[in-house]
């Protein structure tokens, strides 16, 4: 089966390409390389010994997307392509709505036109907003706290409406919690441009000496030690969740949390990172970051039951794999 992976050169996309190739799928990647590098696709070949077919296109370009559907027999789409920085979305909301909504609309249009019925969408735990933890798929949400989160909530609604009007369409909305870590080869991983926004890449850059110390955003939350609690999931577990979603879907809209179900504080994560890698992470406690919530973790029972999927890799593995990739990665060259 041929799977079109938009955003397949990115962090989660590359790991998912590996999981798909290992599960026997053929992979076609569409990416404009706005937040990724062509070299990542070569690394996929090194790891799997299999080729992906690559189209360097912008997914907002209807004609370019349709050409892929004309030239290939596509069986399903996994749609990762999108902008993902919460802070940038507050500064440039138009860019986020334009890119993330138009990509999704262009792809839906192509799927309907070329009778491709399987669609898997990258959503986010951010859609749950201020609900109580653990987050369950049935929870209502009205408004998320930033334009990025709104694009995810809007795409979920668009895909739901389209499926209601086209009952043979099969849509899986995967709400990721906090993906971290890297493929255990150390060849691919998360390599943000500039100063990282997210915790794990910041920690690995402190470990490498690229950043002097970590700012911990607040230690007065109502959590185990006052620092923010999140549900960190190994990116390869997340990738395998996509394969499970493709393997088991039936017509209609299906929503799944992809997390571990376990909350970990910033201080707990740092301690595990230090222990497994034998490195001290310098940090300072600073003010809370605007928009952060105290705790975010998943109820994962639905994915376990319906997808027969569960995250297998522990925090120790996440920390080791993230550090292995950071040590291999040359920020100047790639
Ligand atoms: P990423 O930035 O590494 O990957 C996204 C890829 O999409 C990049 O390769 C980028 O070049 C490409 N892209 C962006 N706009 C495009 C366009 N118009 N046309 C073609 N390609 C385009 O991000 P990621 O962490 O791999 O995230 C993948 C998806 O998962 C995103 O939709 C993101 O919002 C979602 N998500 C990520 C996280 C996370 O913490 N990483 C959490 C929840 C959801
Ligand atoms: C984790 C914890 C911070 C950095 C974001 C998006 C979310 C999703 C995943 C896409 C929090 C603390 C962080 C630092 C710190 N992405 N922290 N110092 O905010 O849970 O989620 O990425 O959908 O939408 O909002 O992840 O890694 O930024 O933060 O103390 O330098 O680490 O306060 O408690 P977050 P994160």
Neighbours of 44 (CB within 10 A): 27
Distance (angstroms) between ligand 2 centre and the Cα of 15 equals 20
Instruction: Average pLDDT across each block of 10 residues of the chain; the chain has 334 residues. List them in order.
Output: 98 98 98 96 98 98 98 98 96 98 98 97 94 95 85 97 96 98 97 92 97 98 98 98 91 97 98 98 97 96 98 98 95 56
pLDDT at 334: 42
Q: What are the residues whose beta carbons fall under 8 Å from the beta carbon of 59, sequence distance 6 or more?
A: 6, 7, 30, 32, 65, 81, 103, 106, 107
Reduced to 3 states (helix: H, G, I; strand: E, B; else coil), residue 54 is strand
Q: Which atom of ligand 2 lies nearest, measured to the CA of 86?
A: 25
Q: Is the CB of 126 within 6 Å of ligand 2?
A: yes
Superfamily for domain range 2-181+231-261+296-312: NAD(P)-binding Rossmann-like Domain (3.40.50.720)
pLDDT at 183: 98
Distance (angstroms) between ligand 2 centre and the Cα of 55 equals 31
Query: Residue 87 CA: which ligand is closest?
Result: 2
Contact 169, 307 (CB under 8 A): no
Q: Is the CB of 59 within 6 Å of ligand 1?
A: yes
Question: Which string of b and e fits 93-105 if b means at least 16 CB within 10 Å?
Answer: eeebbebbbebbe
| Helix axis angle, 199-208 to 266-277, nearest 10° | 40
Distance CA 68, CA 22 (A): 23
Distance (angstroms) between ligand 1 centre and the Cα of 84 equals 6
Distance (angstroms) between ligand 2 centre and the Cα of 101 equals 23
Known catalytic residues? 148
pLDDT at 78: 98
In the 8-state DSSP scheme, what is residue 205? Answer: H
Q: Which atom of ligand 2 lies nearest, measured to the CA of 149?
A: 24
pLDDT at 66: 98
pLDDT at 332: 61
Dihedral sign from CA coordinates of 327, 329, 331, 333: positive
Q: Is the CB of 86 within 6 Å of ligand 2?
A: yes
- Number of Cα atoms under 13 Å in the Cβ half of residue 15: 24
């Amino acid at each position: 089966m041929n799977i079109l992976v938009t955003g397949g050169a990115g962090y989660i996309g590359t790991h998912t390409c590996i999981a798909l190739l290992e599960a026997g799928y053929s992979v076609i990647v569409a990416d404009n390389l706005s937040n990724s590098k062509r070299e990542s696709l070569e690394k996929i070949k090194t790891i799997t010994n299999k080729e992906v077919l690559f189209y360097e296109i912008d997914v907002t370009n209807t004609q370019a997307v349709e050409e892929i559907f004309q030239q290939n027999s596509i069986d399903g789409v996994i749609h990762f392509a999108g902008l993902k920085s919460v802070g940038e979305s507050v500064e440039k909301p138009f860019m986020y709505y334009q890119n993330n909504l138009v990509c999704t609309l262009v792809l839906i249009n192509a799927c309907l036109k070329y009778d491709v019925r399987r669609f898997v969408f990258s959503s986010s735990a951010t859609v749950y907003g201020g609900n109580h933890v653990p987050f369950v798929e049935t929870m209502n949400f009205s408004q998320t706290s930033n334009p990025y989160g709104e694009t995810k909530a809007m795409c979920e609604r668009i895909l739901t409406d389209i499926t209601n009007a086209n009952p043979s369409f099969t849509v899986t909305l995967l709400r990721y919690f906090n993906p971290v870590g890297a493929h255990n080869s150390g060849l691919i991983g998360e390599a943000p441009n500039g100063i990282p926004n997210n915790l794990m890449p910041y920690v690995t850059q402190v470990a490498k000496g690229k950043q002097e110390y970590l700012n911990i955003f607040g230690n007065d939350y109502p959590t185990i030690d006052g620092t923010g609690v999140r549900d960190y999931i190994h990116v390869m577990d997340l990738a395998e969740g996509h394969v499970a979603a493709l393997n088991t879907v039936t017509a209609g809209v299906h929503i799944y949390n992809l997390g571990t179900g376990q909350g970990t504080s910033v201080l707990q994560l740092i301690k595990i990172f230090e222990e497994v890698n034998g490195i001290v992470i310098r940090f300072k406690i600073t003010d809370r970051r605007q928009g952060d919530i105290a705790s975010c973790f998943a109820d994962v029972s639905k994915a376990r039951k319906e997808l027969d999927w569960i995250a297998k890799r522990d925090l120790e593995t996440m920390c080791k794999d993230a550090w292995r990739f950071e040590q291999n990665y040359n920020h100047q060259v790639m």
